[in-house]
Structure 1
């Protein structure tokens, strides 16, 4: 699970608990201006097939880390941290290492509202 916090013009995505180990990453920091879209999308968990470039994939349980997903036209990786698809948030980025963050958050509706109003 990932915690989302906004600090002025920066958004910090903090990977919590065991997921830090599974994802090989504990935190991502993104300028707010680089976030071009945010949506609560539980169905995105059905489109997570692709090449794992560092992280963990246990079908039906967890997918965490850096992935190149089959359905993406871009050659940029996605950061994925998903255990419970019902709480999935998809964040589209520009000018960043990752094209998207596909993350599980505690309250996707609240996180989506926070990111939509923080700009």
Structure 2
């Protein structure tokens, strides 16, 4: 699970509990001007992830950096349904794939914040 905080200038993603260990990530700070948009996507867990480095990949739990097609994506997913995809530009990651408590609500919040920043 992930905690998402929005400030006037940043999107902050904090993996919770052991997810910090498994994903090798304490938090991600992304300028809102680098957020292209967010989408609630329960089917994202069925997509190919690519090569894991570093992180964890076991059935039902994907955490860390995954490389596919020359692009890096950050995954911290532990639920087959409650997932959010955040598209980025000019960042280390092209996407963040996250399990959150309210994907639709977070989608609206992030998109509104990103639209206001751009």
TM superposition score normalised by structure 2: 0.92
How well do the aligned residues superpose, as a CA RMSD in angstroms?
1.1
State how far apart, in whole Å, the 1-side matches of 2:79 and 2:43 are: 11
Q: Distance in 2 between matches of 1:66 and 1:36?
A: 19
SS at match of 1:86: coil
What SS class does the counterpart of residue 81 from structure 2 fall into? helix
Structure 2 stretches lacking a partner, 5+ long: none
Q: How many residues align?
A: 114
**Structure 1: 5+ residue runs without aligned partners?**
none
Residue equivalent to 1:67 = 66
Runs of 4+ in 1 over 6 A off after TM superposition: none
Q: Work out whether residues 37 and 110 of structure 2, in 8 Å CA contact, stay in contact via their aligned partners in 1.
A: no
In the other structure, the counterpart of 1:111 is 106
What displacement does 1:48 show? 3.4
Give how far 1:37 is off.
Answer: 1.9
2:54 paired with 1:54: yes
